[in-house]
C-alpha cells in the first residue's frame, strides 16, 4: 500500500466510450487476454467462484457476480455484475446487460463504473480467438460454423476477422430461422465476405465445419452424437452446455480454469459427475501457452472457457486508462462525500 493513499476520483464510462476504445484494437485485446491468462496461471490473480442470483418466478433468467483481482503492472480489483434474461430477445432488446466496477488497489475505493456488455463480449471473443490459434498449431481451420447467432457470435466473428483470420466458408445455425437469416445477412455484407451457408440442423453445420463455435443460451446438452465430430474439428464451447458427456469423453478437452469450469452443470461438469473423475481434462489454456501439453491432432479438441472475471477487470482497466490518457474520462465530482472520520468542521 502506498504511504499516502488518497481517495481516487470516480468515473462513469458509457458503452459508446468502451466501443470507441476497443474498436480497431482487437489484436491488442487478444494480447491482453494472453497476458492475463499467464498472470492467472502464475498465481498473480484472485478469481473466486462466480455467484449466481436465480429467481423462482423467472427460471430462465439469472444475474451473476464475478469478483476478481488482477496483479501485474496495473493491479486492480473489481466486480462484474452481468444479467442474462433470454426473454428480452423477443422484446427486441439484448439478452445480457452488465456493469463493471473497478476498485483502487491501495485504498479499495471504487474508481470507475463501466458499461460492460461490450467488455464482456470482447473478452469472450478475444479468449476464443486466442484459444483457436493455440489449439490449432498446424494449419488454421478454413470452415467456421456458428451455432447460436447473437451478440457473442458476432463479436467472435469480428475478432477473428480483425486479427487476420480468413475462412473459405462460414456456416450458421440457430433455432430461430429469423435470427439465423439476419446473422447470415450481416456476415454476407462484410467486405470480401466468405460464402455463408445457413444450415438447417446442428448436425449439418458440425459436419461441414473445421471450427465450431457454440454461442447459445442452452441450459442443457442438445448435441449427443460423437459421430458428428468424426472429422475432428476444433470446438469453441463458449456457451458451455451444448455438448453432452458422450462428445466430451470422445474428445481432447481444454479449459480456462479447471475449478471454475467444472461446476454449474457445464458440459465438463456433467461429464465429471458421470465418470466421477477429471481424467478427461487434458489441460488448461495456460498449459498450452506454456508448452506443457501437446494438442492432439487425431481427436476433436474442445475448449470450454467458463469466463474469468480477471479478464473483465483487466480489459476494463485498459479502457479506463486509455480514456484518462486522452482526457475523455467522465468524472463524477463529489461522488464520495463522507471523507472526514468525525464529520466535516462546521457541518
- What would the pLDDT profile of 278-288 be if each residue is shown by its tens digit? 999 999 999 99
Q: Where are the domains of the chain?
A: 11-119+309-325, 129-304
- Say what percent of the chain tops pLDDT 90: 87
Phi, then psi, of 271 in degrees rounded to 5: -65, -40
What average pLDDT does this structure show over 274-296?
A: 97
Identify the CATH assignment for 129-304 out of 3.90.1150.10, 3.30.70.920, 3.40.50.720, 3.10.20.90.
3.40.50.720
Which pLDDT score is estimated for 33? Answer: 98
Q: What is the pLDDT of residue 337?
A: 85
| 106 has a pLDDT exceeding 70 | yes
| Arithmetic mean of pLDDT, 63-67 | 95
CA dist., res. 70 & res. 89, Å (int): 33
Q: State the pLDDT at residue 1.
A: 46
- Kindly tell me if the per-residue pLDDT of 121 is higher than 60: yes
Q: Say what the pLDDT of residue 344 is.
A: 61
pLDDT at 336 over 70: yes
pLDDT tier, 139 (very low <50, low <70, confident <90, very high otherwise):
confident
* pLDDT on residue 285: 98
- The pTM score is 0.93
What is the sign of the dihedral through the CA atoms of 67, 8, 118 and 193? negative
pLDDT of residue 79: 98
Q: Tell me what pLDDT residue 6 has.
A: 86
Collapse the DSSP code of 176 into the 3-class scheme (helix H, G, I; strand E, B; otherwise coil) and give the result: coil
Cell representation of residue 91: 422484446
**Per-residue pLDDT, 295:** 96
pLDDT mean over 255-273: 96
Query: Quick check: 134 pLDDT over 80?
Result: yes
State the average pLDDT for the chain.
Answer: 94
Whole-number pLDDT of residue 102: 98
φ, ψ at 212 (rounded to 5°): -110, 130
CATH class, 11-119+309-325 region: alpha beta
Answer whether residue 346 shows pLDDT above 70.
no
Which candidate, 25, 238, 211, 46, places its Cα nearest to that of 127? 238
Amino acid at each position: 500500500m502506498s504511504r499516502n493513499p488518497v481517495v481516487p476520483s470516480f468515473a462513469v464510462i458509457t458503452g459508446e466510450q468502451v466501443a470507441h476504445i476497443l474498436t480497431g484494437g482487437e489484436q491488442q485485446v487478444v494480447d491482453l487476454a494472453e497476458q492475463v491468462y499467464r498472470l492467472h496461471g502464475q498465481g498473480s490473480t484472485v478469481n473466486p467462484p462466480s455467484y449466481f442470483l436465480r429467481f423462482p418466478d423467472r427460471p430462465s433468467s439469472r444475474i451473476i457476480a464475478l469478483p476478481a483481482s488482477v496483479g501485474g503492472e496495473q493491479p486492480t480489483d473489481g466486480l462484474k455484475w452481468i444479467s442474462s434474461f433470454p426473454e428480452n430477445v423477443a422484446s427486441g432488446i439484448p439478452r445480457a446487460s452488465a456493469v463493471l466496477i473497478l476498485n483502487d488497489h491501495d485504498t479499495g475505493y471504487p474508481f470507475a463504473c463501466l458499461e460492460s456488455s461490450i467488455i464482456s463480449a470482447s473478452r469472450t471473443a478475444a479468449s476464443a480467438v486466442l484459444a483457436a490459434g493455440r489449439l490449432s498449431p498446424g494449419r488454421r481451420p478454413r470452415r467456421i460454423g456458428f451455432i447460436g447467432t447473437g451478440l457473442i457470435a458476432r463479436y467472435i466473428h469480428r475478432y477473428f476477422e480483425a486479427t487476420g483470420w480468413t475462412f473459405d466458408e462460414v456456416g450458421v445455425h440457430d433455432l430461430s430461422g429469423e435470427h439465423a437469416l439476419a446473422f447470415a445477412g450481416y456476415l454476407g455484407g462484410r467486405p470480401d465476405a466468405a460464402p455463408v451457408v445457413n444450415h438447417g440442423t446442428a448436425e449439418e453445420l458440425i459436419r461441414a465445419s473445421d471450427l465450431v463455435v457454440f454461442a447459445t443460451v442452452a441450459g442443457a446438452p442438445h448435441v449427443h452424437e460423437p459421430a458428428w465430430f468424426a472429422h475432428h474439428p476444433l470446438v469453441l464451447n463458449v456457451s458451455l452446455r451444448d455438448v453432452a458427456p458422450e462428445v466430451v469423453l470422445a474428445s481432447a478437452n481444454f479449459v480456462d480454469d479447471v475449478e471454475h469450469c467444472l461446476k454449474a452443470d457445464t458440459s465438463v461438469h456433467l461429464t465429471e459427475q458421470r465418470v466421477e473423475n477429471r481424467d478427461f481434462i487434458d489441460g488448461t489454456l495456460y498449459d498450452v501457452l506454456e508448452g506443457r501439453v501437446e494438442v492432439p491432432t487425431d481427436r476433436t479438441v474442445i475448449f470450454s472457457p467458463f469466463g474469468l472475471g480477471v479478464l473483465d477487470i483487466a480489459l476494463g482497466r485498459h479502457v479506463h486508462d486509455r480514456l484518462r490518457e486522452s482526457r475523455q474520462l467522465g468524472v463524477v465530482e463529489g461522488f464520495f462525500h463522507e471523507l472526514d472520520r468525525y464529520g466535516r468542521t462546521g457541518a
